[in-house]
Amino acid sequence: MRTYEQYIEKLKSMKPNVFIGDEKVDRSDPRLQGGMRIIKETFDCAHSEEFADLCTATSHITGNKINRFTHIHQSEEDLLKKQLMTRLLCHRVGGCIQRCMGCDALNGLSVITYEMDQALGTDYYQRFLKYAEFFQENDLVASAAQTDPKGDRLKRPHEQEDPDQYLRVIETREDGIVVRGCKINITNTPYADEMIVVPCRYMGPEDKDYAVAFALPCDWEGVKLLTRPAYIRIPEKFDTPTSHIGDAETFILFDDVFVPNERVFLNGHVDPRQTPYAGFLALMFAHYHRHSYTGCKPAVTEVIASAAALVAEYNGIERASHVQDKLSHLIGTAELVFAAGESSAKHSEKAPSGTQVPDEILTNAGRRLAGEMIYDEYKILADLSGGLIATLPYEGSFTSEEVGELAMKYLKRNPRVKPEYIYRCFKGIETLAVSELAGLMQVAGLHGGGSPQMETITMMMRYDLEKLKDISKYLFGIKSRLKRYERPTVTPRKQLEKFRKAMQAKEKRQNN
């Protein structure tokens, strides 16, 4: 396993292909350091005695000890440990840990590439295993690139006026493919080692050129990263852990990029039979990523609850009944979202590849609740804090020889709390709630891993409403008998099995 220092050294060796505005910068740019500081926790905790049981795992490929962020889940326990690891590490950075996407993409590929090899006779799963071993042995940080620009949302990929609005294969060679297009809204790419690229939707027969998945180093020839960093102004005196965190969101441009065969995991351009698997891979990555959200979103809610409880104390209102109601709402949301992820892991099933797949309905139910509640949570924090989190003077006013003493005097609230602690509290909540980074995290809380509408669509695709209606039909006398009703465990594996059988039946009919 790598150390943080080794990770940084690797970033320093990468070619500069990051554009911040019209500036072309390398990975040492100070505006990217906050995101790297978050990634630091994933390395440090894997080497710490306190967190090693959660942050490390045993590779099913090599038998070696690896960082859990590079692991392919093999059991219910793996899913539960990943979820708890994500929750605890997010506490340490006050938000997104920014390394789960690569792990989620790896797990999605492990399921789908195996299914393709079984059904189509491809060798994608063997390619994947070699790549996964390389990924684990080098303890890589990955960015998962899924979202396409999409162009006209009412048109499918092949119907777009500009065919590059979805990433596509423009050429298949003997030694690889050439791709053109863009992926947008992608987190952490400037300080990731690799990007794992997967489709963002179902593809029809005419969309075969868009059914593509692969992995590349983030500084690969022809790849350009248009980056919007979010970072915190580092204080001179009142330094805090949250002063050093940050984020980078990226448009990844693929300017006729060559991808070697060993890094290609799906290519409908060369074989249209692969096209339907694009949708299953899109859903499988999203499924694993939403399960990760049942770890990180409870942590974000707990950070908000922690800040809300502290500021209520410092404002002297912690015993008010409305404060208790608001705090209980935050705590309840966090626990329900985490419980959905736990239950999803406990109802998980093993895919034919050996990868453990969580229950789809429970995962999506937890992620949807988190997305629906995110702005309510920030509203509670703002309500209990008051307007000061948005109007607090700069640090220099509180350290000034001329006005600093007066600034602290008029910051006093609870007489039992030192004014410096009150300043630190409100400055911390400013970072959490009204900074540039905070604005990004609020939108990410709604849309990251899919908006609540996407979770609704996924749940309703899987839930058997006809069997659900049987309960009322019995209760209302429309049916005389009610069979034992239990919602079946729903994993994408079952959907893949149904799909594979349908494909086999179709092929048999065509041969006859």
All domains in the chain, ordered by first residue = 290-462 (1.20.140.10)
CA atoms within 13 A of residue 178's CA, in its CB half-sphere: 8
User: Could you tell me which of 66, 458, 58 has the C-alpha nearest to residue 289?
Assistant: 458
Per-residue pLDDT band for 507 (boundaries 50, 70, 90) equals: low
Per-residue pLDDT band for 490 (boundaries 50, 70, 90) equals: low
Q: Do 419 and 412 touch, CB atoms closer than 8 A? A: yes
168: helix, strand or coil: strand
Query: Residue 391 above 90 pLDDT?
Result: yes
Query: Residue 292 above 80 pLDDT?
Result: yes
Q: Which of 169-173, 478-482, 496-500 has the highest mean pLDDT?
A: 169-173
pLDDT at site 254: 98
- Token representation of residue 298: 């409870």
- Token representation of residue 67: 């960082």
Query: Residue 462 above 70 pLDDT?
Result: yes
Regarding beta strands 194-197 and 212-217, do their DSSP bridges make them parallel or antiparallel, or are they unpaired?
antiparallel
Give the mean model confidence (pLDDT) for residues 254-268: 98
Phi, psi of 181 (to 5 degrees): 145, -155
Query: Residue 159 above 70 pLDDT?
Result: yes
User: Could you tell me which of 82, 70, 71, 68 has the C-alpha nearest to residue 344?
Assistant: 82
CA atoms within 13 A of residue 53's CA, in its CB half-sphere: 4
pLDDT at site 234: 82
pLDDT at site 495: 66
Give the mean model confidence (pLDDT) for residues 342-351: 94
Give pLDDT tens digits for 188-204.
Answer: 999 999 999 999 999 98
Give the mean model confidence (pLDDT) for residues 446-465: 84
CA 192 to chain centre: 14
Distances (CA, A) of 192 to 87, 195, 429: 21, 7, 28
Per-residue pLDDT band for 447 (boundaries 50, 70, 90) equals: confident
Q: 120-124, 220-224, 429-433, 505-509: which range is least confident on average?
A: 505-509
Give the mean model confidence (pLDDT) for residues 130-159: 97
Give pLDDT tens digits for 30-82.
Answer: 999 999 999 999 999 999 999 999 999 999 999 999 999 999 999 999 999 99
CA 87 to chain centre: 13
Q: 240-254, 315-329, 461-475: which range is least confident on average?
A: 461-475
Query: Residue 422 above 70 pLDDT?
Result: yes
pLDDT at site 228: 96
> How far, in Å, CA of 74 to CA of 223, rounded?
33
Task: For the chain, give the number of residues.
Answer: 512
